[in-house]
């Protein structure tokens, strides 16, 4: 049996600049942004992030400089040719979900989740991320606050 490798990234960080949205002729949407993750010793680690799918266009306006987020995704290697003809290499995080830990100018007090593609999501604000026309139902969470969860839609 072959050994299976795990490629998973779960991280909290702050955006270093506003996110940028790109649309492609195929209809695909891509949001790109850079994050800074502060280490235990005060050092900052910087990562480029890609967020693909239908939710990209809807969340780009909320991905603003300084905002605290949590991401869940995977690492992906990239190779490209620079303007001078040299080959360049890099690694980015391809996010499956982005959670807003704070508002644009507030501390971490609200939590919103957006997930890529047709996956379901939960927001403590009662709004739901995900694809389809499923209805949301309220329920009490472990914190006693009412949350709404969208059922997965069948494609």
Q: What is the pLDDT along the chain (155 residues), one digit of tens a residue?
A: 678 899 999 999 999 999 999 999 998 999 999 999 998 888 999 999 999 988 888 888 899 999 999 999 999 999 989 999 999 999 999 999 999 998 765 543 344 455 544 443 333 333 333 333 333 334 344 444 433 333 333 43
Beta carbons within 10 angstroms of residue 151's beta carbon: 13
Please classify residue 140 by burial: count the beta carbons closer than 10 Å to its beta carbon, then call 0-12 exposed, 13-18 middle and 19+ buried: exposed
Write phi, then psi, for 130 (nearest 5 degrees): 135, 175
The confidence score (pLDDT) of residue 14 equals 95
* pLDDT score, position 131: 35
- Specify if 4 maps to a domain: no
136 and 87 in one domain?
Answer: no
pLDDT at 149: 35
Instruction: Report how many domains make up the chain.
Output: 2
Can you give the pTM of this predicted structure? 0.65
- 88 and 26 assigned to the same domain: yes
Same domain, yes or no: 144 and 91: no
d(CA 1, CA 4): 9
Residue 20 placed within a domain: yes
Q: How many CB atoms lie within 10 A of CB 93?
A: 20
**pLDDT of amino acid 152:** 38
**What is the sign, positive or negative, of the torsion defined by CA atoms of 41, 42, 43, 49?**
positive
């Amino acid at each position: 049996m072959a050994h299976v490798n795990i490629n998973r990234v779960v991280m909290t960080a702050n955006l270093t600049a506003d996110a940028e949205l790109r649309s492609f002729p195929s209809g695909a949407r891509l949001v790109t942004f850079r994050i800074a993750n502060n280490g235990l010793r005060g050092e900052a680690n910087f990562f480029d992030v890609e967020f693909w799918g239908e939710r990209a266009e809807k969340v780009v306006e909320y991905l603003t400089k300084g905002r605290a987020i949590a991401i869940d995704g995977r690492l992906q290697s990239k190779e490209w040719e620079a303007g001078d003809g040299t080959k360049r290499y890099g690694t980015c995080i391809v996010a499956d979900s982005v959670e807003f830990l704070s508002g644009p100018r507030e501390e971490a007090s609200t939590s919103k989740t957006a997930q890529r593609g047709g996956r379901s999501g939960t927001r403590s604000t009662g709004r739901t991320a995900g694809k389809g026309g499923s209805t949301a139902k309220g329920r009490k969470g472990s914190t006693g606050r009412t949350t709404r969860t969208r059922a997965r839609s069948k494609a």
